[in-house]
A and B are shown apart, each in its own frame.
Chain A
Amino acid sequence: MPKEILKVENLNMHYETLTGNVDAVKDISFTVLEGQSFGLVGESGCGKTSVAMSLLQLQADNAKITSGSIKLDGVELVGMSESELRTVRWDGISIVFQGAMNAWNPVIKIGEQIREAIREHYPKKSKSENTKKISELFNMVGLDESIMDRYPHELSGGMKQRAIIALALSCDPKVIIADEPTTALDVVIQDQILNEIKKVQDLLGLSLIYISHDIAVIAEMTDQMAVMYAGRIVELGPTDEVFKNPKHSYTKALLESTPSVVGEKVKLKSLEGEPPSLIDKQSGCAFAPRCPNKNETCNPTVDMELIEISPDYFVDACNASNS
């Protein structure tokens, strides 16, 4: 059994706004094993990115982690001071950002931006050592070494994204968070980038958290996955099992809304209604208004709660009996 590299327990985070608190992350628990990838899927605004930002505590100033714990390799991150967090950022957990287009500073050369990260965490390394490291990374992600002396605007979208992966790897982090790394790219480049991430992961034995709204990508990339809805995890388990036999009505709906290339032609289904606004304090089942499987035994005033139905497989209690 590989060791647990990142363990998140009962994490709660909200944004304080003028109209009230937005509960973006509610009672989230999951574990990432060393060398494995963990997928987080859900529709836009369900709190996926908020989870990612909470891990490094990079949220906007109005965000507060109210309770819970995040343990990276046994070290508690919640409650760390800013300067302690700085040592964890990039060295412990690094992020491949959503929009590679804007993740680079337009006026600094690519090489210098990577060098800067290494310099921050390993100040003793010499210039030639750093250059060597960066060219190794570039080779790994399929970029030419000369990219180092280029400015971000001189690169194509795919190249920028590859360079971002190199940047994320530059300090040999324990965990990499890939936050929708392919959303802004066309399908061909998407596929290339995904392969690149996979290859690098196998090569370096990285632990990966992959965040996406694209369930197909999650299926391809991850070993474990969690489905999020309205700030909560509604189903969590090995990816194969979740795909073969989804338990939760929302997961089912999500799978049914994705077209499949193989098999019979079926009409795609979509859920009625919209996800709830997270700003109103809701009690009870957030999914109840849209749930297609409502019946007499279902009680919408009961909060969602995950229960373990088989080893390492958790699902919202209300839907546990569905199969």
Chain B
Amino acid sequence: MAIYILKRTYQLIIVFLLFLVLSYLLFNAIPGNAFQSLLLNPDLPKEAYQRVLETYGLDKPLFERLQLYIINFFKGDFGYSYNYYPKTPIDLIAERLPRTLMLFALVNVVSFYTGFIVGKILAWRRGSKSETWITITSVFSYTVFYPWFALLMLYFFGYKLGWLPIGKFIYPEKWYDAPFDSDVVFITMIKFTVVATFIQFLAFIFTRNIESLTNRKTARLVSFVLLLLGSYFYWGSGSALEQRTYAADIAYHMILPVFTVTIVAFAGTALLTRTTMMEVLKDDYILTARAKGLSQKRIRDRHAARTALLPVVTSFIFTIITIIDGSVLTETIFSWPGMGQLILQSVTQEDIPVAMATFSFVGILALVAHFLADISYAYLDPRIRIKSQG
């Protein structure tokens, strides 16, 4: 396994280098540069423009710039943003990333979870009326033109009913005298979610060793209630108490985007789960499970859905990669100032250092996700574990 991981890491580095060179060349292939608009000003002397280019190193030939960029990249120097000087791309990403992460991590988890559950029920109830209708609805939401649908949701819930805010991630008037930045709150929220998920996961693993099924269920319920109590106390004390109202404001703004993206995104998972699970249901071990006298629910969840999970996890991991670049549309429509908007802005304004930094970030994320995908397969399917060792 160690050799396998080493080999994969080596491949990753080479792929990343190629990625870096290619994207740098592509960005520079865009005609003009970020400062060309200065030339439109007739009062600006040509020499001044030239000096600006020199300041940013844009007067050097392309190959030299590429070389410099790659060397500096591995030194951890990503340059300065052209538009937000003197901020560095890292500052910008650090500011935007928590906002995108919080929103899209939640969207992904919610949509995959509902998709998986819906898909598994669809496969189980194959041929029933409810199956037909839910499948038709899923295909509709899978194929709907997303921006149109998102606007429709905004119009309906934000404008007509007025239940939810239209766009933005906070009510600015509430934040006038806030003692901290919105990023601080975002980071607290992310930390809380990660810790809570981790505790729930641990509880799940530990209760697996309880032999009696009813006891296991009770233990899981107790751990969940304890977690709820714990989170209640967490938000009711210390620094989290101060941030509570602000966190609530952000959460309120998150409802509509999460809801909208979930409706669009769950269908893919549901249909995928349905297809794989219908294959699995034909397998002999499902008959064995039935012959053993297991309950329908147990056969469905433990035997059929568990085996059908593999392709779903694959698609989940590949969706994680698209969190950042896939957020462009959603963030634009819901005016959510996250990474998606940053990418769009930096590309349209030819802010090359920022564009390169965001793209490399997405690239690294993609490579790492692929890597994790391979490892998680080995965990989910013991048959792969053996093959990768040999």
Contact = CB atoms under 8 A, between A and B. Distances in A.
B123 to A, nearest CB: 14
B283 interface: yes
A122 to B, nearest CB: 10
Contact of A106 (B213, B291, B292, B307): B307
B293 A104 contact: no
Contacts of A107: 306-307, 380-382
Interface size class of B (residues with CB under 8 A): 20 to 34
A99 B212 contact: no
A95 B307 contact: no
Contacts of B213: 119, 123
Contact of B292 (A82, A102, A120, A125): A120
Interface in A84-108: 85-91, 94-95, 97, 99, 102-108
Contacts of A115: 211
B288 interface: yes
Interface residues of A, number: 37
B151 interface: no
Contacts of B295: 86, 120
A97 B292 CA distance: 12
Contacts of A154: 382, 386
A116 interface: yes
- Max chain A C-beta neighbours (<10 A), residue from B287, B295, B298, B380: B287
B25 interface: no
Contact of B290 (A88, A89, A127, A151): A89
At the interface, is chain B mostly helix, strand, loop or mixed?
Answer: helix
Given A86-B293, A117-B293, A104 B288 contact: yes
Nearest to A123: B212
Nearest to B287: A58
Contact of B288 (A85, A97, A127): A97
B294 interface: yes
Interface string B276-299: 000000011101111111111010
B382 A99 contact: no
Interface in B280-335: 283-285, 287-296, 298, 302-303, 306-307
B285 A102 contact: yes
B214 interface: yes
A133 interface: no
A86 B283 CA distance: 20
Nearest to B381: A107
A130 B211 contact: yes
Contacts of B302: 108, 116
A151 B292 CA distance: 19
- Max chain B C-beta neighbours (<10 A), residue from A91, A95, A103, A127: A103
B284 A99 contact: yes
B285 A105 contact: yes
Contact of B291 (A90, A116, A124, A130): A90
B293 A106 contact: no
B3 to A, nearest CB: 21
A85 B381 CA distance: 32
Contacts of A108: 302-303, 306
Contacts of B306: 105, 107-108
A86 B292 CA distance: 8
A106 B211 contact: no
A116 B294 contact: yes
Contact of B382 (A87, A117, A151): A151
B129 interface: no
A126 interface: yes
Contact of B386 (A86, A116, A153): A153
- Max chain B C-beta neighbours (<10 A), residue from A88, A104, A119, A130: A119
A278 interface: no
A114 B227 CA distance: 33
A90 B386 contact: no
Given A102-B283, A107-B380, A107-B382, A95 B303 contact: no
B75 interface: no
Interface string A136-167: 00000000000000010110000000000001
Given A99-B284, A154-B382, A167-B288, 10 more contacts: A87-B293, A88-B293, A89-B290, A90-B292, A97-B288, A102-B285, A107-B381, A108-B306, A120-B294, A153-B386
Top 6 A-B residue pairs of the complex, sorted by shortest distance between their CB atoms: A89-B293, A102-B284, A127-B211, A117-B292, A105-B285, A86-B293
25 contacts: A89-B290, A89-B293, A90-B291, A97-B291, A99-B284, A102-B283, A105-B303, A105-B306, A105-B307, A106-B381, A106-B382, A106-B383, A115-B211, A116-B294, A117-B293, A119-B212, A123-B214, A124-B212, A125-B211, A126-B211, A127-B209, A130-B211, A151-B382, A153-B383, A153-B386
